[in-house]
């Protein structure tokens, strides 16, 4: 997730963006991965915090092609809550919600030879090359339409993974709210929000079973993500921003606890319904453009996170989601219009580089608070940078739909 992070968005993309961060995670003493009896290479990833410096340490930076298991242990870092493995701008595996002291989490992936990146958002050094030796993964073959379809299938799995992680994250938010822990709930809120922002354009049309499609009472997008600016008096407050308002204004009440419980229920329902999505290539392209429109209409204005002011984290998540959609289309799109593909990729790099200037791992969500002063000074420039990406990106849907 390049949310407090992006990605690769890598997103959830971007060789130049990677180069800017290529100092990587700490790798002192790292070498080749050992191989277990079952043939899987073993890589240990340790997350630590020492004197205010958060580190992501790998005990190996190379492995042989085949199954590779990353075992991630968060010993003491509150700034690092996830890791991702990136390849050609795509998040091909990630582990989220890595709280200090929890049982180590395992991620096993079958990797072909080549260079990957391990991304540890929130670490002092966030990105690092990971080399797999041996036979390289095969490049996509077949017709353009079959390559695009393979991309849409991969993106569907990406969306399902994001929603699964969001389900876990809102569960952590509910736990903190139920405990009356305002500071803990604020941190959990900032960690949970980006998941929805990555995939919102893909899941904003779902209704509760049997719901009236003309009423917000059964509209899952409203129930999860309504804001003060689009409050429906007939339905009332609900979802993330109802909780946000309480956490940053009134404090936790019994009503806040109900909001949190309802959010957990609605997110679980959303994740269930989204499993049936059957994407077309143009859906990915239109969704990516829609996420950037979200940036322009809500994040840059400061309207989205009215109380917490964690808008830049949301901004980064929208960009990550858009970048992941593009990355899954990229192999097919490169065969249709190589020039447009390179242009969009370069513009993603510029947007990510601009966002990197706002990183602050000490802040929940991983980015600076979007104060009135920051907005007044920077909003116009950020808007121009996003627009320079949005314009070429908007051309992709027609290209892939008519391939």
Q: Residue 313 is part of a domain; what is its CATH number?
A: 1.20.1420.20
Number of domains in the chain: 2
Tens-digit pLDDT profile for residues 115-154: 999 989 888 888 899 999 998 766 677 899 999 999 999 9
d(CA 311, CA 319): 12
Q: Which residues of the chain are under the pLDDT cut of 70?
A: 1-30, 37, 89, 137-139
127-133 sheet: strands from edge to edge: 31-32, 60-64, 127-133, 114-119, 83-87, 90-95
Q: Of 138, 165, 186, which one is at a domain's C-terminal end?
A: 138
CA distances from 128 to 30, 81, 115, 138, 350 (A): 12, 17, 10, 23, 20
Q: Which residue has the tokens 């990971």?
A: 130
Domain assignment of residue 48, yes or no: yes
The rounded Cα 308 to chain-centroid distance in angstroms is 19
d(CA 102, CA 84): 18
**Nearby residues of 150 by Cβ (< 8 Å), 6 or more positions away:** 140, 331
| Whether residue 50 sits in one domain with residue 84 | yes
| Whether residue 266 sits in one domain with residue 165 | yes
At 32, which CATH number? 2.60.40.420
Strand 53-58 to 41-50 pairing: antiparallel
Q: Which residue has the tokens 């192999």?
A: 331
Tens-digit pLDDT profile for residues 350-387: 999 999 999 988 888 889 999 999 999 999 999 999 99
| Whether residue 280 sits in one domain with residue 183 | yes
| Whether residue 181 sits in one domain with residue 134 | no
Range of the domain at 105: 15-138
| Whether residue 154 sits in one domain with residue 111 | no
Q: Of 116, 138, 160, which one is at a domain's C-terminal end?
A: 138
| Whether residue 217 sits in one domain with residue 177 | yes
| Whether residue 181 sits in one domain with residue 314 | yes
∠ CA 57-58-61, rounded to 5°: 140
Q: Of 77, 109, 138, which one is at a domain's C-terminal end?
A: 138
| Whether residue 19 sits in one domain with residue 130 | yes
């Amino acid at each position: 997730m390049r949310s407090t992070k992006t990605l690769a968005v890598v997103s959830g993309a971007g060789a130049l963006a990677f180069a800017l961060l290529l100092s990587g995670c700490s790798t002192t003493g790292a070498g080749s991965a050992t191989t277990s009896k079952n043939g899987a290479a073993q890589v240990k990833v340790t997350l630590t915090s020492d004197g205010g410096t958060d580190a992501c340490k790998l005990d190996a930076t190379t492995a042989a092609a085949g199954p590779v298991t990353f075992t991630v242990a968060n010993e003491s870092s509150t700034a690092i809550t996830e890791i991702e493995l990136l390849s050609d701008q795509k998040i091909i595996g990630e582990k989220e919600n890595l709280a200090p002291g929890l049982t180590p989490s395992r991620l096993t992936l079958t990797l072909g030879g080549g260079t990957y990146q391990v991304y540890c958002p929130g670490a002092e050094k966030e990105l690092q090359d990971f080399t797999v030796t041996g036979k390289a993964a095969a490049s996509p073959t077949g017709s353009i339409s079959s390559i695009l379809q393979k991309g849409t299938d991969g993106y569907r799995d990406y969306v399902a993974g994001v929603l699964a992680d969001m389900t876990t994250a809102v569960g952590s938010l509910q736990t903190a709210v139920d405990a009356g822990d305002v500071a803990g709930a604020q941190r959990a809120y900032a960690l949970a929000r980006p998941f929805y922002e990555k995939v919102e354009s893909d899941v904003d049309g779902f209704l509760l079973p049997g719901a009236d499609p003309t009423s917000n009472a059964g509209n899952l997008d409203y129930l999860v993500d309504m804001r003060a600016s689009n409050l429906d008096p007939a339905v009332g407050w609900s979802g993330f921003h109802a909780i946000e308002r309480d956490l940053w204004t009134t404090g936790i009440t019994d009503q806040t606890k109900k909001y949190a419980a309802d959010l957990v229920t609605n997110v679980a329902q959303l994740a269930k319904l989204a499993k049936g999505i059957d994407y077309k290539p143009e859906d990915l392209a239109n969704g990516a453009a829609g996420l950037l429109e979200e940036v322009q209409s809500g994040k840059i204005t400061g309207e989205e996170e009215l109380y917490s002011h964690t808008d830049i984290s949301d901004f980064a998540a929208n960009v990550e989601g858009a970048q992941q959609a593009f990355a899954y289309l990229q192999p097919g799109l490169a065969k249709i219009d190589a020039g447009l593909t390179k242009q969009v990729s370069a513009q993603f790099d510029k947007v990510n580089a601009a966002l990197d200037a706002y990183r602050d791992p000490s802040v929940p969500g991983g980015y600076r608070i979007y104060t009135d002063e920051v907005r007044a000074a920077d909003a116009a420039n950020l808007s121009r940078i996003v627009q320079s990406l949005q314009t070429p990106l908007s051309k992709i849907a027609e290209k892939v739909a008519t391939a």
